């Protein structure tokens, strides 16, 4: 590995570390969302949401760094479009998790009595753990089987989240909440459901990397 190659190779490794850092942050922010949806006190929720904002900003910076590195590096460990798509998906996951938490206090929704919100927060956390496990395997693509299992798990969690979403919406329309309350809760369900969609997007990119390179 002497000569011109050694000049390039260390640089392209930067992507693995950045993806891993983003995944660590996703686990942190998903955990905080679970705390938010089980926290009855508005002000304590507000404190957690502020902490989530910090994590979301950190992931914005990581995504930005990935895009800058992508612009500078001619040689990349995977297809440029896959790196771009994975970075975008990980960034989107953080954005939607933070948006969901923020909307709960913004709309002054009590999450405690809302099983749809609580179950979806659990689903998001599980999906994020599976995304992180898949990302950790990217560095050496030896354990293909484990990556595929993670991707299948993400898809299954996302399907489950769809069912929770449908049930929550159905219950909402059948309840006697007024239209304003209905619009608020529906929006929170939607944002949370998109967070699991974005986990599936991340899984799909990782699957396509495995198909091409493993």
Residue with tokens 């997007």: 201
What gap in Å lies between CA 10 and CA 14, rounded to an integer? 7
Looking at the Cβ atoms of 28 and 167, the one nearer to a copy of itself is 167
DSSP state of 177: -
134's CB contacts (< 8 A; 6+ apart) are: 147, 150, 151, 154, 202, 203, 206
Looking at the Cβ atoms of 72 and 140, the one nearer to a copy of itself is 72
Give 74-126 as a DSSP string: SS-SS-HHHHHHHHHHHHHHHHHHHHHHHHHHHTT---TT-HHHHHHHHHHHH
Looking at the Cβ atoms of 9 and 183, the one nearer to a copy of itself is 183
| Smallest distance from a copy of itself to CB 67, Å | 6
29-68 footprint of a copy of itself as x/- string (CB under 8 A): --------------------------------------xx
| Smallest distance from a copy of itself to CB 3, Å | 26
Structure tokens at 203: 């899984």
Return the residue of 11, 16, 107, 160 that touches a copy of itself, per CB under 8 A. 107
Return the residue of 54, 106, 110, 152 that touches a copy of itself, per CB under 8 A. 106
Q: Pick the closest to residue 188 from 88, 112, 111 (CA basis).
A: 111
Report if residue 1 touches a copy of itself, rule: CB under 8 A: no
Binding site for a copy of itself (CB under 8 A): 67-68, 71-72, 81, 106-107, 166, 169-170, 173, 178-180, 182-184, 186, 208, 211-212
């Amino acid at each position: 590995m002497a000569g011109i190659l050694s000049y390039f190779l260390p640089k392209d490794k930067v992507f693995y570390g950045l993806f891993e850092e983003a995944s660590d942050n996703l686990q942190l922010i998903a955990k905080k969302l679970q705390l938010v949806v089980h926290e009855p006190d508005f002000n304590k929720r507000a404190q957690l949401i502020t902490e989530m904002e910090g994590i979301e900003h950190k992931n914005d910076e990581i995504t930005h760094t990935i895009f800058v590195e992508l612009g500078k590096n001619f040689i990349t460990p995977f297809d440029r479009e896959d790196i771009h798509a994975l970075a975008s998906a990980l960034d989107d996951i953080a954005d939607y998790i933070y948006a969901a938490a923020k909307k709960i206090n913004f709309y002054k929704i009590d999450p405690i009595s809302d099983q749809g919100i609580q179950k979806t927060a659990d689903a998001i956390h599980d999906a994020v753990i599976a995304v992180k496990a898949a990302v950790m395997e990217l560095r050496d693509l030896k354990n293909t089987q484990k990556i595929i299992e993670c991707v299948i798990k993400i898809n299954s969690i996302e399907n489950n989240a769809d069912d929770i979403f449908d049930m929550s919406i159905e219950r909402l329309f059948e309840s006697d909440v007024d239209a304003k309350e209905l619009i608020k809760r529906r929006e929170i369900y939607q944002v949370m459901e998109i967070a699991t969609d974005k986990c599936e997007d991340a899984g799909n990119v990782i699957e396509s990397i495995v198909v091409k390179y493993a």
